[in-house]
Amino acid sequence: MTFISAQSASVKIAFTKMHGLGNDFIVLDNRSNMITLTEVMIRHICDRHLGIGCDQLVLLSNPTLEGASVRVQFFNPDGSEAGACGNASRCVAKFIGHNPVIETQNGLLPTFKEGELYRVVMGVPKLAWQDIPLSHEADTAHLPLYDGAACSMGNPHLTLFRPVKEAALLGPELEHHALFPQRANIGFAEILSPTHMRLRVWERGAGLTLACGSGACAAVVNAARRNLVKRKCTVTMEKGDLQIIWEENGPVHMIGPAETVFTGQILMDQAV
């Protein structure tokens, strides 16, 4: 069985392993249109025992929207596609260089290199219940799930203001809760001060990860809506910090590092 198809069976496809605060990715550059992804292939490459291993596979292709530098798709280890990924977006900014504008299924994300860090303008959060989406109308700032709050940062997020140690316990069940018809990322936020929180996220389709960029954005948005933190807040995760800034009536900015781990090649007729 072949998991990657190409225009030639002997073609080798280069990959780059990258991470943002330990949230790790396999980046495939398909701007030459040499790769056809299948769900089976995605699951295989993301598998940490049988493949290369990553939290998400990131596929780059030629942009389709005016003003975009590159089109990006994010795939979870279970083969499903995610609408957004903040940590991966910073990695793409590092991979492409020259402050690319990233085209995602939820619109354009401008990026900027700031010293050794990368800023991604993650867009305006969606707060209405039908835009997250929820399965029925509810107060998205005070949901009947552990008094959590929800928003969309290109993908649905539920933030619970509970100890981060509960992420592995409650995350699996809440990801699939009936309130979220498209499943949800589940964040556990401990408020340390008005400008600092600690966060752990159970990611939809990926499980417990060391960091989640869109989850950090969502946590600050949800906490700020309840006056628990200010709109500029440091989010501490397992391997470091992100700086999140939510503009008044505007987009959320995420600032943090991106690192290249190693590069390699996948031989088409051996990717089984």
The single residue listed with the structure tokens 């942009």 is 63
Catalytic annotation, pick one of 46, 54, 91, 212: 212
Number of C-beta neighbours around residue 245 at 10 A: 18
> Please, are residues 268 and 10 in contact by the beta-carbon 8 Å criterion?
yes
Tell me if residue 85 is catalytic. Answer: yes
Catalytic annotation, pick one of 85, 91, 151, 217: 85
Could you tell me which residues are beta bridge partners of residue 259? 19
Please report, for residues 35, 61, 212, 220, the alpha-carbon distance to residue 264 in angstroms, rounded to integers and kept in the order given: 15, 19, 25, 37
How far is it, in rounded angstroms, from Cα 125 to Cα 151? Answer: 7
Torsion of CA 123, 129, 134, 139, to 10 degrees: 120
Smallest Cα–Cα separation from 35: which of 68, 69, 12, 65?
Answer: 12
Could you give the residue numbers annotated as active site? 85, 212
